[in-house]
Amino acid sequence: MTIYNLYIFDRNGVCLYYQEWMREKQPGMSQDEEFKLMYGMIFSIKSFVSRMAPVDFKDGFSSFCTSSYKLHFHETASGLKFVMNTSLNVSSIRDELQHIYSALFVEYVVRNPLCKLSQPINSQLFKTKLDSYIRGLPFFSAKVN
């Protein structure tokens, strides 16, 4: 089991934070372009999923899988979007993404008045805390499957 990378977007589509732990294949475009592409896809999937759903549901879009990786998505009521790519054998990580929001993002970004809310996060403290949380997760493994 492996965690590849994490994106955090604000409700205006700005990528507040990106980190990768294990990414073998680089996208071959600028990071800025990649963020826009990722946000655009998430945005489209959200509207696609809510329109195509044959029944009422609360949670909305939460993940998709390809043959080689799984993308997990979590959105807060305030429109923050957490996107994490993992290997296929990781089951739902809703609680972990919620933890990143409530115990790390709120604690070290929102409560830090020097962190501007609509700009990429520069706080070293947040980076360190997030990195050690991710590395401590049971499904974090630096080995490639």
Partner 1 sequence: MSRQGGRSTDPRKVSQELFTLTYGSLVSQLVKDYESDEEVNKQLDKMGYNIGIRLVEDFLARSGERRCNDFRETADIIAKSGFKMFLGITPTVTNWSAAGDEFSLVFDNNPLTDFVELPEEHSQLNYSNILCGVIRGALETVQMDVNVRFVQDVLKGDNQTEVKVKFIKRLEDAVPAGEE
Q: How far apart are CA 40 and CA 128, in angstroms?
A: 28
Q: Which stretch binds partner 1 (CB under 8 A): 25-33, 88-96, 103-111, 124-132?
A: 103-111
DSSP annotation of 58 reads S
Q: Smallest distance from the beta carbon of 79 to partner 1, in angstroms?
A: 7
Under rule CB under 8 A, residue 7 binds partner 1: no
Q: Which stretch binds partner 1 (CB under 8 A): 19-27, 86-94, 104-112, 132-140?
A: 104-112
Reported in sequence order, the residue ranges of the chain that DSSP labels E, i.e. its strands, are: 3-9, 15-20, 63-65, 70-75, 81-86
Under rule CB under 8 A, residue 27 binds partner 1: no
Is-contact 38 55, C-beta < 8 A? no
Is the CB of 2 or the CB of 9 nearer to partner 1? Answer: 9
Q: Which stretch binds partner 1 (CB under 8 A): 40-48, 61-69, 87-95, 123-131?
A: 40-48
Is the CB of 55 or the CB of 77 nearer to partner 1? Answer: 77
Q: How far apart are CA 47 and CA 30, in angstroms?
A: 26
Under rule CB under 8 A, residue 117 binds partner 1: yes
Q: Identify the sign of the CA torsion 21, 23, 29, 34.
A: negative
Closest alpha carbon to 63 in 90, 39, 37? 90
Binding site for partner 1 (CB under 8 A): 11-13, 36, 39-40, 43-44, 58, 76-80, 101-103, 105-106, 110-111, 117
